[in-house]
Structure 1
Amino acid sequence: MIDIHTHIIPGVDEGIQTIEDSIELAREAAKEGIHTIVATPTYQDGINLYSKNDVLTYVQDINKHLQKRLAHSRYRPAWTSYQPVWRHG
């Protein structure tokens, strides 16, 4: 199973705060049959909170930790796109 929306990058968005928390989330997800977790930090048009390279580096770092502890779990990078609705009038 694949979890396609998580805030699991430590210190990013409203999600996980430490790498240990991220590993624990992966451990709990694995118990539920989830083998791939997609990291989805928020992207807001006009406000680039994190660069593509930042997110790729964060996910790569998490995967290095996972390989040591949970060989069958993987994180993948993505973004949640937030587009505010503008009201006229």
Structure 2
Amino acid sequence: MDYSYPLLPEWTTEEMIDVVAFFEAVEQAYEKGIQQALFMAKYKRFKEIVPSQAEEKTLCKQYEKGSGYIPYHVVKLAKASEPNRKLQLK
């Protein structure tokens, strides 16, 4: 991993950890798969920290630019999937 996660300085340490956990869940969906319910729990927490859709889009684009992983695709798949389904993107 040769990239950093997009974090904002006004977040608490706990919020930063939770945002990183969301981005790690995106990575997991691409690399080995993740259960839909687990991913959605991490996404829900991410949205508590980043409620603005514009800010979410900005952070996800920064992450995508550095990592090559696209959070939007994982979120879209997760929202359309059953809770017990494993999410896997390539």
> Which interval holds the TM-score relative to the shorter structure?
0.3 to 0.5
Greater share of residues in strand: 1
TM (norm. structure 1) is 0.36
Largest Rg, 1 or 2: 1
Higher helix share: 2
Q: Which has the higher contact order (CA 8 A, sep 6+)?
A: 2
Q: Structure 2 length as normaliser, TM-score?
A: 0.35
